[in-house]
């Protein structure tokens, strides 16, 4: 799904993005509700940032936010691996710096990929066809995966993230053996 975000594009930078796990839902400019493999998921565009809310069928919750968060002391990490309750969570991010021509081509490619995908959500900012945030989710081998792209055309920067979340397999309790 492709939408035009009803907000002005401000000169944010890739370096201003912060990462947070477990935040409450923030006001969204666009959302997409999905059900993947028994998990309920909401992709949320927050302007030049994103939030993913995930609820597993047994009621377990996971929330990821990548945004310009005032007062945040957690910059965007290159990678995170965490266990939270029964969740296994892996996150990775990278910043690509592209020439203006390469940036425009990559922007068009990503927007076409995400806007035509049934589990994709992309928002374009008024005034610049290459200023966007895009998200794409999928279910694979019992885990939820999503990728995001945050475009900063004024700097030729594209922030790409990928996340994998799965429920940890419980280890059976050993049964005592009588001798």
What pLDDT sits at residue 172?
45
Instruction: Report residue 172 as tokens.
Output: 């059976």
pTM for the full model?
A: 0.86
**pLDDT surpasses 60 at 167:** yes
- Cβ atoms 86, 95 nearer than 8 A: no
At 72 the pLDDT is 67
Query: DSSP alpha helices (H): ranges in 126-177?
Result: none
Residue 171 has pLDDT above 50, yes or no: no
Neighbours of 105 (CB within 10 A): 13
Residue 179 pLDDT greater than 70, yes or no: no
Of residues 99 and 86, more confidence is placed in 99
Query: Could you tell me which residues are beta bridge partners of residue 160?
Result: 94, 149
Tens digits of residue pLDDT in 108-136: 999 999 998 999 999 988 878 788 999 99
pLDDT at 88: 87
* Structure-token match 């993913």, residue found: 52
In the prediction, which pLDDT does 74 show?
66
pLDDT averaged over the chain? Answer: 85
pLDDT band at 15 (very low <50, low <70, confident <90, very high): confident
DSSP state of 110: H
């Amino acid at each position: 799904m492709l939408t035009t975000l009803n907000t002005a594009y401000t000169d944010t930078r890739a370096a201003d993005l912060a990462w947070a796990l477990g935040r409450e839902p923030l006001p969204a400019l666009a959302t997409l509700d999905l059900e993947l493999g028994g998990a309920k998921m909401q992709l949320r565009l927050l302007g030049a940032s994103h939030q993913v809310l995930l609820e597993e069928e047994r009621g377990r919750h996971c929330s990821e936010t990548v945004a310009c968060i005032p007062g945040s002391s957690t910059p965007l990490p290159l990678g995170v691996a965490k266990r939270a309750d029964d969740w296994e969570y892996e996150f990775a991010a990278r910043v690509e710096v592209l020439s203006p021509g390469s940036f425009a081509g990559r922007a068009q490619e990503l927007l076409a990929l995400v806007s035509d995908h049934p589990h994709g959500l992309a928002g374009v900012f008024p005034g610049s066809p290459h200023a966007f945030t895009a998200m794409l989710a999928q279910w694979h081998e019992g885990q939820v995966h999503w990728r995001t792209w945050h475009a900063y055309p004024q700097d030729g920067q594209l922030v790409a993230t990928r996340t994998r979340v799965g429920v940890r397999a419980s280890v059976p309790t050993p049964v005592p053996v009588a001798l």
